[in-house]
Structure 1
């Protein structure tokens, strides 16, 4: 039997090593070091934004409202000392709409940024970092309003005045920090603010990924 060369233009299939199965297909198998998540590659500002949402959530349970004064008009009034405290989610005194909505927005803002870090293939209707900034800004607005508007109706015809506790003020600080960091990171990554907000000073420095 004589050897017949392949027709012109045809390339013989590559042969693997003796006893082998040839090279594995591209993109299959276990991801190597290049495909793994490296926490060191995350910008510190991003970690700060995520941490702000986590801290706001944690401190929403810690002495958010501390003490209360209940005024029932002709039926008298009562004052409860600092030994009585309530969380941001407490609703016995009519809830704290502005406070607990601020907590929800801050948590969602951190989630939006975390999605950009850990699940970049998941897209929101608006860019993740812009959504995160908008949510933290709304959280800060509601938290500021909550300084002046506290749960004030016990449900029994009495006016209630609650004092802001340690958890409230810490949450206000971390939410404000999350809003500032979100703005800085949006500007760093080249994101644009809509409308007149686009004229805000660039506090994030030169845009870079």
Structure 2
């Protein structure tokens, strides 16, 4: 199989890996904070954080264009800093994948941290442990199963992102054309053999990742 076959697969894994790392870090930090704090508007904020799970991909893509487009404040800032827009770039694909992957990581992290008995963490604080020490030596290990499971689900979700990526990052071979986009193009061109090969590879990777996540839960 030539470069044309492997390029979308490798790009998908690369994008999903980076998006997964960002989603994992953000999900753990925000999930921990939401699990241990109570305030007015918490339910509303949590609804916003989980919204990408239910919004149509085209809506997410549209919102990303509005937020990061060249006519937005953030888009102008990015252009000023890097002398190029972020749309139709590798980073656009990463951002789109991060947005759809984050809710899964956040939900898993919040659930994991919520199950920790506060007395355990408070005992460590009484013994003189600093907050970062409590977080890394107590909170993270105690919630490890949920965190690992969320990480796997986030990576898998980022790997399969299609709609928002197509709108925000485009479909540029070798640059932003991930496997889902390549499958769409192969199907549109009538190349069923190539489409099936990519589909089977994607199913295999996703199956193994989900199997790992279920194994962690058991």
Q: Do the structures match in fold with TM over 0.5?
A: no
Structure 1 or 2, whichever has the larger Rg, is: 1
More helix by share: 2
More relative contact order, 1 or 2 (CA 8 Å, 6+ apart) = 2
More strand by share: 1
